[in-house]
Chain A
Amino acid sequence: MKASTLAALFDLRSVIALLFGVYGLVLTVLGLAATSPADLEKAGGVALKLWTGIAMLVLAAVFVLWVWLRPPVVPSASEVADAESRPGH
């Protein structure tokens, strides 16, 4: 596998974490600060923004943890050579 592809994969996990980190933060803050009675009634009494926000933060944390525990490895020279010699390359 090529180093550039690995870097892109690293970016994908991080991009997912970034998206849900930001969404989660916005919704959690909104849920804490601005849950109106009308909002509660709409969602059948569930503090939907707060709970969705927290769930998103957890998802973001899982992806950050994954990247942290399994960082993308830069392949050694022999692995690069293997990849280059495969059919289709």
Chain B
Amino acid sequence: MGIMVLAQTDLRLDVSTLDYVLVAFYFVLVLGIGLIARRSISSSLDFLLSGRSLPAWVTGLAFIAANLGAIELIGMTANGAQYGIPTVHYYWVGAIPAMVFLGIVMMPFYYGSKARSVPEFLRMRFNPTTQRVNAVSFALASVLIAGVNLFSLGLVIEALLGWPLQVAIPLAALVVLSYTFFGGLSAAIYNEVLQFFVILALLIPLTVAGLARVGGWNGLKERITEVGGVEELSSWPGTTLTEIPNAFLSVLGIVFGLGFVLSFGYWTTNFAEVQRALSAKSMSAARRTPIIGAFPKALIPLVIVIPGMVAAVLVPQLTTLKAGGESDVTYNNSLSLLMGEVLPNGILGVAVAGLLAAFMAGMAANVSSLNTVFTYDLWQDWIRPGREDAYYLRVGRAVTVIGCVLAIGTAFIAGSYQNLMDYIQSLFSFFNAPLFAIFILGLFWKRMSGTAGWTGLVSGTLAAIVVDVLVRTGVLAVSAQAGAFIGASAAFVFGIAVAAVVTVVTAPKPEAELVGLVWQLTPKESRRHETTGDDAGWFRSPVLLGGLVLALTVLLYLLVP
């Protein structure tokens, strides 16, 4: 997914006054939510972790919306246009199993430990150094990625509405800042739920109208087959997506590279996601959070990948691009090109609101997880310990402002790199893969020592950086996509190997300190959750819901084998 290069004249949407009114109404509600959420904040925990009080449907939808950001929406319609059906792997094999695993296996430890963040969990299981290494790299990544989200948002506003970048970027940052500043995580999460529905209000009419234009699903298949894109109509072996010519190796790459290392690394350790589950009101709700999110996640490709495929046969500039001709657009323009092609005024206003919502969702998730990690893990546990809670609430608010200002800065840095989005995506997965490695090892191996935690983390990241450099200098001749798979796998293997060696030569933590943090030392009862009151009923069982969503995913795969 490269940075969008948007040609102004082509993409400017024909937006009417009514469309602007609809967008404005949405923004009034977004800011209103910030003010409403403000009333419930009296401590730093309220601000940074919503007082651990949210119901599962709210945290579950927020879990998905936090991930349904700009990069996702624009990048995955682009992939749909370029590769067709194989794009679904990013959703199905590349997300659902990891989300179910997080809910069923890992959440009892996360939520049960009462850790307020992923780095804090690492301090409990390993030592303060591991916490600090992870907190610093997470804070850095958050600010950079928030900047990329903000820059993409500015680009879209500039291209679609014609506002200059210098106005659009600070303005968008100000909106995100104002609601996260007043309402903290609650405002971010409530807005994510609202954003989820508004994004669907963009995607569903777009899919319906797009399919109607090409004569339904069968019409779409015929038109794709006509231009010789048969491999775009089935998900396996996905050789076009992986760029691995051998079908067997391609399947292996998708299942282990994408489905295991990248996906488990991202979904189970990325605090911007895990934070949504930690703010749930009970263990049962926390376990259900990622699983409830998995249902929409399994279905969303229907309204993201299909519009991408429609755009590729319907929009003349994209058809030219696909046929290998000269075109002044890239696949990253698919979404906005299709919006201009099929949506009438009125709906266009809703759609623009949905697109802006997606960008804000991504940035708000970065900012709200950054302020939690900074306030608790860097400020309270390291730099200024032992102050009263009101002090840390003020720090949390201040970090929100600083984070947004820094994001404006990194947004303009992002603007000076053509390929920064690619670069940050790979940086981020490099950082998640070693984290997942030491997490899994620490969870199931009680002997693993504290020092092994941070050495495994650092060396895994180094291994990934080495692979990245080798790929970009051309020493390792593979595509950027395959390079990310290899880098993540190297980080995972190397992280585990170093952690294992270091464990053997260092002293283990006393077993008494590891109760509730390591599988064997945690009594089965304390891994269970309450099944009374709001958590009662067979339909609230995480294992049952997890099984259902896995079955749904298998069924979906059978539809497009």
Q: Are A49 and B347 in contact (CB under 8 A)?
A: yes
Nearest A residue (CB) for B200: A59
Q: Are B346 and A26 in contact (CB under 8 A)?
A: yes
Q: Are B201 and A8 in contact (CB under 8 A)?
A: no
Q: Are B197 and A15 in contact (CB under 8 A)?
A: no
CB-CB under 8 A for A88 and B205, given A8-B37, A20-B197, A48-B343: no
Nearest A residue (CB) for B345: A39
Q: How far is the CA of A18 from the CA of B30 in the complex (A)?
A: 12
Decide if B320 is an interface residue (CB 8 Å cutoff): no
Nearest B residue (CB) for A86: B52
A interface majority secondary structure: helix
Q: Which residues of A22-75 have CB atoms within 8 Å of chain B's CB atoms?
A: 22-23, 26-27, 30-31, 35-36, 38-39, 42-46, 48-49, 51-52, 55-56, 59
Q: Are A8 and B29 in contact (CB under 8 A)?
A: no
Q: Are A8 and B39 in contact (CB under 8 A)?
A: yes
B32, B39, B210, B344: most-surrounded residue (chain A CB, <10 A): B344
CB-CB under 8 A for A16 and B114, given A8-B39, A26-B22, A43-B209: no
CB-CB under 8 A for A46 and B114, given A1-B53, A8-B186, A15-B32: no
**Which residues of chain A are within 8 angstroms of B36 by Cβ–Cβ distance?**
8, 11, 15
Q: How far is the CA of A15 from the CA of B350 in the complex (A)?
A: 16
Q: Are A5 and B350 in contact (CB under 8 A)?
A: no
Decide if A19 is an interface residue (CB 8 Å cutoff): yes
A18, A43, A46, A87: most-surrounded residue (chain B CB, <10 A): A43
Q: Are B51 and A2 in contact (CB under 8 A)?
A: yes
CB-CB under 8 A for A27 and B39, given A12-B33, A16-B193: no
Q: Are A45 and B212 in contact (CB under 8 A)?
A: yes
**Which residues of chain A are within 8 angstroms of B49 by Cβ–Cβ distance?**
88
Q: How far is the CA of A83 from the CA of B533 in the complex (A)?
A: 15
Q: Are B114 and A89 in contact (CB under 8 A)?
A: no
Q: From residue B128, how far is it (CB to closest CB) to chain A in Å?
A: 20
Q: How far is the CA of A89 from the CA of B341 in the complex (A)?
A: 53
**Which residues of chain B are within 8 angstroms of A23 by Cβ–Cβ distance?**
22, 25, 201, 350
> Chain B: residues with CB nearer than 8 A to chain A?
18, 22, 25-26, 29, 32-33, 36-37, 39-40, 43, 45, 49-55, 58, 114, 116, 186, 190, 193-194, 197-198, 201, 204-205, 208-214, 281, 341-347, 350
For the complex with contacts A11-B33, A39-B344, A43-B213, 6 further pairs of A-B residues with Cβ separation under 8 Å are A5-B50, A8-B36, A8-B39, A44-B342, A49-B344, A55-B204
Nearest B residue (CB) for A55: B204
Q: From residue B84, how far is it (CB to closest CB) to chain A in Å?
A: 20
Identify which of B45, B201, B213 contacts A44 (C-beta below 8 A).
Answer: B213
Decide if A81 is an interface residue (CB 8 Å cutoff): no
Q: How far is the CA of A4 from the CA of B52 in the complex (A)?
A: 13
Q: Are A42 and B342 in contact (CB under 8 A)?
A: yes
18 contacts between A and B (CB under 8 A): A8-B37, A9-B54, A12-B193, A15-B29, A15-B32, A27-B350, A35-B344, A42-B343, A43-B212, A43-B213, A43-B342, A44-B211, A48-B344, A52-B347, A86-B52, A88-B45, A88-B114, A88-B116
Q: How far is the CA of A59 from the CA of B29 in the complex (A)?
A: 17
> Chain A: residues with CB nearer than 8 A to chain B?
1-2, 4-5, 7-9, 11-12, 15-16, 18-20, 22-23, 26-27, 30-31, 35-36, 38-39, 42-46, 48-49, 51-52, 55-56, 59, 83, 86-89
Q: Are B51 and A8 in contact (CB under 8 A)?
A: no
Q: How far is the CA of A47 from the CA of B49 in the complex (A)?
A: 44
Nearest A residue (CB) for B183: A8
**Which residues of chain A are within 8 angstroms of B33 by Cβ–Cβ distance?**
11-12, 15
Q: From residue B78, how far is it (CB to closest CB) to chain A in Å?
A: 22
**Which residues of chain A are within 8 angstroms of B350 by Cβ–Cβ distance?**
23, 27, 52
Q: Are A9 and B58 in contact (CB under 8 A)?
A: yes
**Which residues of chain B are within 8 angstroms of A7 by Cβ–Cβ distance?**
39-40
**Which residues of chain A are within 8 angstroms of B345 by Cβ–Cβ distance?**
39
Q: From residue B375, how far is it (CB to closest CB) to chain A in Å?
A: 15
Q: From residue B45, how far is it (CB to closest CB) to chain A in Å?
A: 6
Q: How far is the CA of A18 from the CA of B18 in the complex (A)?
A: 18
Q: Are A48 and B194 in contact (CB under 8 A)?
A: no
Q: From residue A23, how far is it (CB to closest CB) to chain B in Å?
A: 6
Identify which of B114, B198, B209 contacts A42 (C-beta below 8 A).
Answer: B209
Q: How far is the CA of A8 from the CA of B185 in the complex (A)?
A: 13
**Which residues of chain A are within 8 angstroms of B26 by Cβ–Cβ distance?**
19
Q: Are B201 and A88 in contact (CB under 8 A)?
A: no
**Which residues of chain A are within 8 angstroms of B58 by Cβ–Cβ distance?**
9, 12
